[in-house]
Amino acid sequence: MIRLFFNLEWKQFSRASYFQKGIAIKILLFLAAIYFGGAAIMLGVGLFFIAKKIKPDLDPIILVNNFLIYWFLFDIVIRFFLQQLPVMNIKPLMTIPIKRNTVIHYLLGKTALSFFNCIALFIFLPFSIVLLVQGYAVVNVFCWFLSIIILTFCVNFINFLINKNNTFFYSIAGVLFVFLGLETYGFFKISEPIGKAFNMLYQQPYLVIIPLLFLFLLYKKNYSDIRKGFYLDGAISKKADRVKSLDLNWVNRFGSVAVFLKNDIRLILRNARPKQVLLMSGLFLFYGLFFYTQSAYKNMPAFLAFASMFVTGGFLMTFGQLVPSWDSEYYKLLMSQNIPYSKYLESKWYLMVVAVFVSFILSIPYLYFGWDIFGMIAAGALFNIGLNSFITLFGGALNRVPIELNVKAKAFSNTNGFNPTQMLIALPKLVLPMLLFYVPYKIINFQAGLIVLALSGVLGIVFRNFFLSKIEGVYQKGKYKTIAAFAEKK
C-alpha cells in the first residue's frame, strides 16, 4: 500500500503543468541540502574537539548535553517557519476501500524523511563516532545517540501540534529568548539543570525508554487529531465563521487605490497565513541587534548597511515578495473587473511604504547605538521605499505560485509559496544597498555613503510613476500566464 501511495504522488507531480518548475525547485533544494548537510557533518566531527577547547576541564559530552535544550528549542522555532508539513490529497482516497489508518500512518511516516530530521543525524552521528574513538562506553554512547534521534522525531511531531495553534509556538519562542537572555547575562543558567537530565540519558542507558514513550504519545496525539477530521463531509464542508466588519473609512484618503488597500488590510487581518507573515516581519525590527551589538561589525559598515535594510524592510520582504500570490484565490475575478492595473500595483506600493514608515518609527530606540547607526537605518528606510519596493513588485510579476490564505490545517493543505525566482530577485535587494553605501564610503567618508544611499531612495520616489508604468507592462504581459498558474490545483 505504501508503494501505491508513492506511485500516486509521483504521477500527480510528474503529470502536472508545474512539473518543470517543481524539478527546478527540487534541484535547488537538493543543492542546499548537500551544502548544509556537509556543514552539519563537519560540525559533528569537530564538535568534540571544539567543546574540549572551549572548556578543557569539562567532559565534552557534558558540555554538549548542557546546551541540547537550546538545540531542540531552536529546532522547533526553525521548523515552524521552514518545515513544510506533508501534503496529500485525501478526498479521492476516502471514496475507495483503503483503510483510514493506513493513509494516516503513511502521512505521519513521511515526516521521517524530512531534512530537518537528517540534520540531527548528520551532527550527532559523527559526534558519537568520535566519542567511541575516544574510548567512551559503546552502550552509553549508542543509547544517548538513540535518545537524541528519538527526541528529534518528537520535535517533528510537536511541530504538527504548534502549527495548528500559534499560541504554542509563540510561547516556545518566548521561552527560548528568555532562557538565552538569562544565560547570556548570568542571572540563571537553565542549561545546567536540564543538562543533568541529558547526562542521565548518557549515564543510564535504560532511560532511553523515556524519550521513546514521549514519542509514542506524541504520535498517538497527532494520529488522533488527524483521524477526527478524516471524513468526506468534514473535508469538503466549510466552517462558517462570523466575520466582524471593519471600519476602514480612514483609508479613503488614499483616493482611487483605497478599495485595494481595504482589501489587503482585510486579507491580512482575516487569514492565518498573512497574519503569520505580519508577525514574522515584526521580528525583523530586532535584526539590527545581531549586528550593532557586535564589535566585529564596527569595522565592516557595509554589513551594517545590510542589517539596516532588514530593520525597516521586514514587511516589504516577507509580504511584498508574494505579490500577487496573496490574491491568487480570486485573481481571475480581480482581473475581470474594469479597473486599471496601475491602481492595483500602486496600492501594493502604498501598503509597503506605510509598513516601512511604521517600522522606522518603531526603530527609534536604535538611537541608543548612536546617530550614525540611526542615520543608516533612516537611509535604509528611504532606499526601501524608493527602490526596494519597486524591485519587490517587479519580482512579483515573475512569481506565479498560488497561496492558500488559511493554513490552520497544514497537514492537508499546501501553503508553499517558495519560488526560485524569489532567490534571484533577492540578490539586488541585498547587494545593491551595500554597494551604494560602500563605494562612496570608501572613496569619501561614512556620511557620503549615507547620503548616496538615501538619495537613491529619494530618486526612486521622484520617478515613482515611471517605475510603476514599467512594472505594469511586465504584469500585463504575463497576466494570462499568471491567471492560468493560479488556477492550477496542486
Helix (H) or strand (E) holding 245: none
Task: Give the residue carrying C-alpha cell 502536472.
Answer: 16
Contact predicate 485/409, CB 8 Å: no
Cell of 487: 488556477
Amino acid at 232: L
pLDDT value at residue 296: 67
Please tell me the distance from the alpha carbon of residue 477 to that of residue 209, in angstroms, as a whole number: 61
Based on C-alpha coordinates, what's the Rg of the chain?
A: 25
Confidence of residue 20 (pLDDT cuts 50, 70, 90): low
Please tell me the distance from the alpha carbon of residue 259 to that of residue 174, in angstroms, as a whole number: 37
CB atoms within 10 A of CB 193: 11
Amino acid at 14: S
Please tell me the distance from the alpha carbon of residue 303 to that of residue 347, in angstroms, as a whole number: 32
Cell of 351: 501598503
Under DSSP, the state recorded for 388 is I
Closest by CA to 302, choosing from 423, 447, 426, 449, is 449
Please tell me the distance from the alpha carbon of residue 376 to that of residue 374, in angstroms, as a whole number: 5
List the Cα angle 31/37/38 in 5-degree steps. 95
Q: How far is CA 24 from CA 209, 212, 413, 426, in A?
A: 42, 38, 22, 17
Please tell me the distance from the alpha carbon of residue 102 to that of residue 267, in angstroms, as a whole number: 37
Question: Cis before residue 433, ω within 30 degrees of 0?
Answer: no
Under DSSP, the state recorded for 99 is -
Contact predicate 130/45, CB 8 Å: yes
In the chain the first and final C-alpha atoms are separated, in Å, by 22
Task: Give the mean model confidence (pLDDT) for residues 28-47.
Answer: 82
pLDDT value at residue 128: 92
pLDDT value at residue 412: 34
Instruction: Say how far residue 445 (Cα) sits from the centre of its chain.
Output: 37
Give tens-digit pLDDT for 210-241: 999 999 998 898 888 878 766 655 544 444 45
Give tens-digit pLDDT for 387-443: 888 888 888 777 777 777 765 434 333 334 445 555 566 677 778 888 888 888 888
Cell of 119: 540534520
Closest by CA to 482, choosing from 271, 330, 260, 264, is 330
pLDDT value at residue 455: 92
Please tell me the distance from the alpha carbon of residue 321 to that of residue 417, in angstroms, as a whole number: 10
pLDDT value at residue 22: 53
Give tens-digit pLDDT for 192-218: 777 888 889 888 989 999 999 999 998
Contact predicate 149/190, CB 8 Å: no
Please tell me the distance from the alpha carbon of residue 328 to that of residue 313, in angstroms, as a whole number: 24
Please tell me the distance from the alpha carbon of residue 16 to that of residue 36, in angstroms, as a whole number: 30
Give tens-digit pLDDT for 395-411: 877 777 777 776 543 43
Instruction: Say how far residue 165 (Cα) sits from the centre of its chain.
Output: 17
Please tell me the distance from the alpha carbon of residue 385 to that of residue 356, in angstroms, as a whole number: 7
Report the share of the chain in percent with pLDDT over 90. 10
CB atoms within 10 A of CB 390: 22
Higher pLDDT, 391 or 17: 391
Give tens-digit pLDDT for 300-311: 777 777 788 888
Please tell me the distance from the alpha carbon of residue 261 to that of residue 128, in angstroms, as a whole number: 56
Confidence check: pLDDT of 95 > 80: no
Mean pLDDT value across the chain: 79
Give tens-digit pLDDT for 312-364: 888 888 888 888 888 888 888 888 877 788 888 888 888 888 889 999 998 88
Closest by CA to 376, choosing from 429, 304, 456, is 304
Task: Give the mean model confidence (pLDDT) for residues 436-461.
Answer: 88
Give tens-digit pLDDT for 123-148: 999 999 999 999 899 999 999 999 99
pLDDT value at residue 237: 46
Give tens-digit pLDDT for 165-182: 666 666 776 776 777 676
Please tell me the distance from the alpha carbon of residue 39 to that of residue 352, in angstroms, as a whole number: 36
Helix (H) or strand (E) holding 82: helix 68-82
